[in-house]
Amino acid sequence: MTDSGMPGTSPERPQHPPVRSDDSVTVTTEKPRTPPRTAKTYAVASARAAAGAVGLGIAVVAVLAAALLPLPGVTGEPASMTVTPVPTAQQLVCAGSMLRLGSQNGEDATTSSAVGRAISRFGATSGDVTTRTLDNSNGLPLVVSVTPTDGDEVTPLVAASQSQSLGDSEFSGFAAVDCAAAATDSWLAGGSTTVGRTTLLTLANPSDVQSTVGIQIYDGTGLLSTPGSTGIIVPARGQRVLSLAGFAPDTETPVIHVTSKGGQIVANLQQSIVRGLEPAGIDIVGATAAPATRHTIPGVVIRGATAVEERLGQDGSADLRTVIRLFAPGDTDAEATIRVTPDGAVGSGNSFQITLEAGLVTDVPVENLTNGRYTVSVDTDEPVVAAVRASTATGNVQGIGTTDFAWYTSPEELTDTALFSVAPGTSAALTIANAADAAIEVRVTKLGSDDVETVAVEANASKSIAVDQDQTYRLETTNPVTAMIGYSANGQLAALPVRAPLESSGAITIYP
């Protein structure tokens, strides 16, 4: 037994019985009393709630007002300056003379040599016009440049064209083509590589930078497999001449797409025909308009229609027939409506519809045309490339050089002022086509002259006027038109489009 009174020991604590899990324990807490609610109590509570709601409403209104009302601040126009680029030199390239593969004796067939010499004409609205020939080239392709004079506020307009007449045992006929600006993308519709047909592709690079060119060739079977058609090097300020037959032999309906990287390119086709031993025509074909759903090709000349019809029955003369070459480059077939309208006539003319299979070239024959000038209109639901080939012949079937042909490329639409030069040639005429539903007037002025000829063109019609060879003209319109310069004589036919002026840079606004 422990003595609780002994030092160092604690008094014994009372022992509580342990709590087992099966025992229940109840804890009772007394709740505070709630005073009874009276009318005064409810009135005070309602007043306090109303005051809180009013305060909350005032706060919401204040927030919305702060969000909606303009806050004070500092405003001002950003600093800027307008810069107008200085007018720059404009440049065109003329194709140069007709070429043959090899020499006149048939030697060295891997190179080209000039046949005769083309004659060029050019003009500009202002500035100094200079010319130079391309290096490392045959046929003397010509570069025409105009440099603005001091004080010029706008870039001068420049135009140039060339023509050539031949008549020997191998080449006979008349060719004319406009001198064009270099581009990175061009479409060429024309030519043939069947028996007796020679087509050359010329690539001119007027720039100071080497160009790498690729070509795609299509015909009635689609895109042709053409080894060596990519990575074609055209030297700076130089030219390459390629035989189309080397890429696409025995091709009757070629359409060529030319693209370039580096220096820009001017691409042309040179076609010559020999039927048996008879030279039967020449032409130089420039780029046609890019794929579009509307093409209007004015000034197509039919001359010697009876003689052409008589010759169609002879072997090798099927390509004397007038045709419209069409190509739908997309993946969808194109529904085309074609109209052939005589010059000066109003209305739809001879109209028909055709389905163009995507990716295939189609030559659409046009029959029963009498002598005269015509406008060919092509409207489609998918973009297409278009050009027209027409032929002429004399009544002397056995004569040498009594047939010729011309490719009429699709001109660009003109909407303002354009310049065109008329190279030497017989019976030169300007044909203007109006595809709108209202009559228009176009002003044509010989450069350096005050004489203005106003040409009235009815709706959906065309009008032709004579123009002087060796002259440059200004064409002014406020409505969209297309225009073509055509030449025709016994056994001679040629044409060239009037192109829109080179684009120049406008004013630029700069923000620092």
CA distance 131 to 110: 29
More confident residue, 110 or 294: 294
pLDDT for residue 390 is more than 80: yes
Sequence-ordered list of residues with C-beta below 8 angstroms from that of 222, at least 6 positions apart, any chain: 359, 360
Q: What was the pLDDT predicted at 169? A: 78
Q: Are 487 and 54 in contact (CB under 8 A)?
A: no
CA distance 235 to 207: 9
More confident residue, 86 or 436: 436
- Which strand (E) or helix (H) includes residue 68? helix 39-68
Q: Ramachandran region of residue 109, left (φ > 0), alpha (ψ -120 to 50) or beta?
A: alpha
**Across-strand partners of 441?**
456
Residue bearing tokens 């031949």: 166
Share of the chain above pLDDT 70, in %: 77
How confident is the model over 167-176, as a mean pLDDT? 91
Mean pLDDT of the chain, nearest integer: 83
Confidence class for position 242, pLDDT limits 50, 70, 90: very high
Q: What was the pLDDT predicted at 151? A: 65
Q: What was the pLDDT predicted at 479? A: 94
Q: Are 157 and 179 in contact (CB under 8 A)?
A: no
Domain ranges of the chain: 90-504
Distance of CA 195 to the CA centre of its chain: 33
Q: What was the pLDDT predicted at 452? A: 93
Q: Are 332 and 358 in contact (CB under 8 A)?
A: yes
How confident is the model over 311-334, as a mean pLDDT? 94
More confident residue, 21 or 129: 129
Sequence-ordered list of residues with C-beta below 8 angstroms from that of 476, at least 6 positions apart, any chain: 416, 417, 442, 443, 444, 445
CA distance 467 to 176: 15
pLDDT for residue 509 is more than 80: no
Give the CA-trace dihedral at 190, 195, 196, 201, to 10 degrees: 40
Q: Which burial class, exposed, middle or buried, applies to 14 when counting CB atoms under 10 A from its CB (0-12, 13-18, 19+)?
A: exposed
CA distance 52 to 31: 31
Confidence class for position 13, pLDDT limits 50, 70, 90: very low
- What tokens were used for 500? 């829109």
Q: What was the pLDDT predicted at 399? A: 45
Confidence class for position 168, pLDDT limits 50, 70, 90: confident
CA distance 282 to 407: 10
Confidence class for position 56, pLDDT limits 50, 70, 90: very low
Q: What is the pTM of this model?
A: 0.81
Q: What was the pLDDT predicted at 356? A: 98
Residue bearing tokens 């099966």: 22
CA distance 373 to 371: 7
pLDDT for residue 394 is more than 80: yes
Q: Are 220 and 252 in contact (CB under 8 A)?
A: yes
How confident is the model over 296-310, as a mean pLDDT? 95
Phi and psi dihedrals of 210, rounded to 5?
A: -60, 145
pLDDT for residue 266 is more than 90: yes
**Helices H / strands E in the chain, number of each:** 3, 34
Q: What was the pLDDT predicted at 154? A: 79
Q: What was the pLDDT predicted at 135? A: 87
Q: What was the pLDDT predicted at 293? A: 97
Q: Is 246 helix (H, G, I), strand (E, B) or coil?
A: helix
* pLDDT 10s digits, 186-219: 999 999 999 999 999 999 999 999 999 999 999 9
- Which of 307-311, 335-339, 496-500 shows the lowest mean pLDDT across its residues? 307-311
Q: What was the pLDDT predicted at 138? A: 80
Q: What was the pLDDT predicted at 233? A: 97
DSSP state of 42: H
Distance of CA 404 to the CA centre of its chain: 30
